[in-house]
């Protein structure tokens, strides 16, 4: 396989699922309208937000990203809006917030669903009027900022359930983009793997230059519940732990989970103590499916990923009883 030339920030992948999102994003980029990016963790939501910024008339302005789930409410508030000297004990000097820093550019609010309610109100006010106040200040300030928000959850349901402001949800989701999970664009896996192999080889001073076809097949068959971030980490691990020019199937195997395990619960008891304790296979499978679905909060695609089967297999197999003894083929 020949390596293409990609730099950091390029969004790699030729799959129709990805290309469709990129085409939609490129149409939205030139607009000032807010965009809500959804998708599982590690699917490239931040990368997509950067692309929206890079394709916009604000591209020479700043792109500022903040993770709303990473900071406690008071800290998040002063990070976003800034604070004045004396606003609280540790406020020794005036601090410009990230909204002010993003003026003329784009503010990316990651994990927006985790923004505390009082800050949601303050953000709504900024979005509606373009004005905000530093913590501890009565003075209104203005900043011209395009807001792009992202969430790995379902913000609409969160709003419907009262966990997120409905008015803010509608303000943020004027335009929406959904990043598909990696298992819905398996065609992209070999190319992504090559890219990360090359990048980590250079960084770690190794000689890896290609991926054996069986290794590419093995990587493509794994469901990657952690998406591209997980794939990236797996390739880094391979480069650190192994040496050579070719990434082999054995190397790929060495970093992939071996069995259809569900963390936190022993779904299949191996080494049963007596004949009487051996349970029918259909029942074991049914329990495994129900357990996985329950642990995933009813999310079938995610449960399917943990069980290493396709979501359609799971939809088909739910509620299977003893009359149906067909096995699930585990890839
Ligand atoms: N299509 C892609 N091509 C190359 N790298 C990607 C791609 N998608 C994601 N990445 C990389 O994977 C990691 C996770 O992406 P990120 O945008 O942070 O995901 P999310 O915000 O959805 O959790 C980042 O290091 C990012 O650069
Ligand atoms: Mg992210």
Tens of pLDDT along 234-278? 999 999 999 999 999 999 999 998 753 334 333 343 444 556 656
Same domain, 291 and 156: no
What is the CATH number for 232?
1.10.8.60
Same domain, 158 and 240: no
Counting atoms of ligand 1 from 1, which one is nearest the CA of 39? 22
Domain extent, residue 64, equals 31-180
Q: How far apart are CA 288 and CA 282, in angstroms?
A: 10
| Closest ligand to Cα 21 | 1
What is the CATH number for 301?
1.10.10
Residue 262 near residue 292 (C-beta atoms within 8 A):
yes
| pLDDT tens readout for residues 29-75 | 999 999 999 999 999 999 999 999 999 999 999 999 999 999 999 99
Model confidence, pTM: 0.78
Least reliable range by pLDDT among 10-24, 263-277, 306-320: 263-277
* 117-129 vs 73-81: helix crossing angle, rounded to 10: 20
CA angle 264, 268, 272 (to 5 degrees): 125
Of 255, 281, 299, at which residue does a domain stop?
255
DSSP 328: P
Counting atoms of ligand 1 from 1, which one is nearest the CA of 8? 27
Residue 189 near residue 182 (C-beta atoms within 8 A):
yes
Of 180, 201, 224, at which residue does a domain stop?
180
Q: How far apart are CA 241 and CA 247, in angstroms?
A: 11
Q: Which residue, by CA, sits nearest to atom 9 of ligand 1?
A: 44
CA angle 193, 218, 177 (to 5 degrees): 50
pLDDT at 6: 65
Same domain, 193 and 172: no
Same domain, 197 and 144: no
Residue 295 lies in a domain: yes
Residue 273 near residue 260 (C-beta atoms within 8 A):
no
Same domain, 123 and 227: no
User: What residues does ligand 1 touch, defined as CB less than 6 Å away?
Assistant: 11-13, 39, 41-47, 192, 228-229, 232
- Outline where the chain has alpha helix (H): 16-29, 45-54, 73-81, 98-101, 117-129, 155-160, 166-172, 189-204, 213-221, 227-241, 249-255, 281-295, 300-307, 311-317
| pLDDT tens readout for residues 181-203 | 999 999 999 999 999 999 999 99
Report how far ligand 2's centroid is from the alpha carbon of 172 (Å). Answer: 17
The number of distinct structural domains making up the chain is 3
CB atoms inside a 10 Å sphere around CB 254: 14
Tokens 């959850």 found at? 153
| Closest ligand to Cα 39 | 1
């Amino acid at each position: 396989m020949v390596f293409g030339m990609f730099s950091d920030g390029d969004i790699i992948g030729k799959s129709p699922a990805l290309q469709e999102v990129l085409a939609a994003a490129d149409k939205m980029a030139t607009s000032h309208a807010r965009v809500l990016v959804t998708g599982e963790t590690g699917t490239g939501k931040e990368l997509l937000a950067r692309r929206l910024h890079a394709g916009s008339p604000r591209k020479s302005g700043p792109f500022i990203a903040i993770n709303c789930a990473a900071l406690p409410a008071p800290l998040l508030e002063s990070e976003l809006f800034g604070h004045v000297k004396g606003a609280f004990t540790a406020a020794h000097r005036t601090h410009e917030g990230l909204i002010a820093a993003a003026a003329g550019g784009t503010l990316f609010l990651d994990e927006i669903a985790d923004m505390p309610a009082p800050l949601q109100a303050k953000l709504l006010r900024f979005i509606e009027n373009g004005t905000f106040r530093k913590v501890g200040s009565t003075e209104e300030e203005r900043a011209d900022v395009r807001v792009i928000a992202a969430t790995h959850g379902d913000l609409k349901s969160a709003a419907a359930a009262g966990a997120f402001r409905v008015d803010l949800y509608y303000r943020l989701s004027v335009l929406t983009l959904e990043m598909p999970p990696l298992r819905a664009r398996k065609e992209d896996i070999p190319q992504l793997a090559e890219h990360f192999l090359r990048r980590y080889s250079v960084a770690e001073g190794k000689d890896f230059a290609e991926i054996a076809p069986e290794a590419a097949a093995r990587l493509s068959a794994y469901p990657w519940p952690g998406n591209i971030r997980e794939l990236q980490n797996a390739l880094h691990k391979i480069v650190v732990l192994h040496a050579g020019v070719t990434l082999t199937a054995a190397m790929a195997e060495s970093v992939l989970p071996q069995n259809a395990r569900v963390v936190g619960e022993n779904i299949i008891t191996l080494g049963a103590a007596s004949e009487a304790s051996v349970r029918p296979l259909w029942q074991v499978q049914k329990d495994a499916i129900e357990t996985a679905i329950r642990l995933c909060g009813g999310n079938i695609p995610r449960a399917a990923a943990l069980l290493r089967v396709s979501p359609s297999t799971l939809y088909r197999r739910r509620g299977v009883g003893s009359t149906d003894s067909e096995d699930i083929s585990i890839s």
